[in-house]
């Protein structure tokens, strides 16, 4: 295994950058949500705990808009983990969250759809006709629209 010094340096820089991003995410989630979501040293567990906390807030009718830094959320949104992308979609500004309506993971699409307008969900349903979660959100949005009129 011949590893050139330049390749080693490049890998080290990449690893350090990834670790700095992980640390920034943990610090930001701790700053905004506090100790209750710091369940372990594993970042994925922290993200899952944050999603569960937001689920509880939604179920109890509490406001789920939190002042999380957008640049940190954008880093989270690049993750391969659907839990991380779901968290990012829930906290990102709506103009950015709309881009996740076509995510490959249904839970991420569902989280994005909850924040979109009836028309945007209708368009997404054309691309994902078998997605029952999108369909149910669209029905709820339609009921809300009918109540406002």
pTM: 0.81
H-type helices in 34-131, by residue range? Answer: 43-59, 70-77, 82-91, 94-97, 106-113, 118-127
Please choose, from the candidates 108, 104, 133, 138, the residue with its C-alpha nearest in 3D space to the C-alpha of residue 120: 138
Query: 33-60, pLDDT tens digit by residue?
Result: 888 777 677 888 899 999 999 999 989 9
Distance from chain centroid for Cα 104: 13
Secondary structure (3-state) at 145: helix
**Angstrom distances, CA of residue 19 to CA of 12, 108, 119, 128:** 11, 25, 40, 36
Query: 55-81, pLDDT tens digit by residue?
Result: 999 899 888 888 999 999 999 999 999
Query: 82-106, pLDDT tens digit by residue?
Result: 999 999 999 999 899 889 988 889 8
């Amino acid at each position: 295994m011949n590893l050139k010094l330049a390749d080693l340096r490049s890998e080290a820089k990449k690893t350090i950058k990834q670790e700095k991003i992980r640390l920034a995410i943990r610090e930001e989630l701790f700053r905004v949500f506090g100790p209750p979501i710091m369940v372990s040293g594993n970042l994925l567990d922290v993200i899952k705990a944050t999603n569960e906390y937001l689920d509880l807030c939604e179920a109890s009718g509490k406001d789920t808009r939190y002042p999380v830094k957008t640049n940190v959320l954008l880093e989270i949104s690049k993750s391969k983990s659907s839990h991380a992308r779901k968290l990012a979609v829930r906290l990102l500004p709506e103009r950015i969250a709309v881009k996740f309506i076509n995510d490959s993971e249904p839970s991420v699409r569902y989280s994005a759809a909850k924040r979109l307008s009836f028309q945007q969900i209708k368009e997404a349903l054309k691309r994902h006709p078998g997605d029952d979660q999108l369909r149910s959100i669209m029905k709820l949005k339609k009921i809300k629209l009918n109540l406002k009129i």
